[in-house]
Amino acid sequence: MLLPILRSPTRNSPRGVVSVFAVAAIGLLTGCGGSSPSDAEVEQQGTQGANGATTGAEEPATSQEDASGRSTQNGEEDAEPHALTDEEKLEVLLSTADMPVSPEGHSTYESLSYFQESIAVEYTLYQETFDESECSAVMDRINIDLIGEEPQSGLAHAYTLPAEEGSDEDYRPHIYVWVLSYDRGVDTSSVWNHVHEHCTGGQLASGTEEVEIAPFTLEDSAELRTDGISMVIHRDGEPIASPAAVRHSMTVDFGDNLVMLSAVGLDDSEFAELAAVQAQKLADHAETLDEEA
């Protein structure tokens, strides 16, 4: 998920830009708006009718291609998973036990309205904060482009980690992971290609600050197709020494499902390790499907 940098009266001040970015990082692509609900609210959300995941309709034995265009052999579909059930979503997403340290906070969202109202929203914040450009326009609507139309169900986790030891700021890293399921295969490659084409490098600048954007590559991807970006705020050509000035996002096209992992305040190696764990959990699930086929 990509993050907007909100307008602020202090946007040109060193601490102003970082703090604004840190708060904004909870919104775009990560899909966190406002304060986190209490544990009681999370529990209530879990008991409400969370839009049930739909499974793909069973294909006739003679079918050679399913609805999403995936090829089949001998009437059997390949390993691409159909829409995950609610239980499977919980199994394949990063859990508290997968976090690098024990989280200070954890919220879970199960309603599609959360995604529609907090994530799939077109912003104008990048274009207002920076000069209007193809990159700022792309960044303002990337959530909509990634999520696409008519997801069937979803699940999201938001984790707050303890403040980084030795940090000059009392900033707590945030990790967001979610999955959306559809009635068709997911392919976000064109969205990311557009982002890489127009935003790689220092395409966003305001005063002495600029945001450096680079493609995120996961070496240990468990043979899954992943894509994403890394973002670092610079001042006067140097990275700002604050955890809040660093963020990463990664998506995995997983059959009829889109999985997103995003973090604010983790360094490259920390995020790569977490991303590898998420990819492995998905690969393990796909392997289980193969064995059951």
Confidence of residue 247 (pLDDT cuts 50, 70, 90): very high
Confidence of residue 4 (pLDDT cuts 50, 70, 90): very low
Only one residue has tokens 């920076």, namely: 130
Share of the chain above pLDDT 70, in %: 71
Dump the DSSP string for the chain: --------TTTTSHHHHHHHHHHHTTTTTT---SSPPPHHHHHHHHHS------PPPPPPTT-SB-TT--BEETTEE-S---SPPHHHHHHHS--GGGSSS--SEEEEE--HHHHHHHTS----HHHHHS---HHHHHHHHHHHHHH-S---EEEEEEEEPPPPTT-SS-PPPEEEEEEEE-SS----HHHHHHHHHHHTEEEEEETTEEEEEEE---S--TT--EEEEEEEEEETTEE-SSGGGEEEEEEEEETTEEEEEEEES--HHHHHHHHHHHHHHHHHHHHHHHHH-
Residue 54 has pLDDT above 50, yes or no: no
Residue 284 has pLDDT above 80, yes or no: yes
**Whole-number pLDDT of residue 242:** 84
80-115, pLDDT tens digit by residue?
799 999 999 999 999 999 999 999 999 999 989 899
pTM of structure: 0.77
Residue 1 has pLDDT above 80, yes or no: no
CA 33/CA 144 separation, integer angstroms: 16
**Whole-number pLDDT of residue 42:** 37
Average pLDDT, the chain: 77
Confidence of residue 168 (pLDDT cuts 50, 70, 90): low
Residue 44 has pLDDT above 80, yes or no: no
Burial of 83 (0-12, 13-18, 19+ CB in 10 A): buried
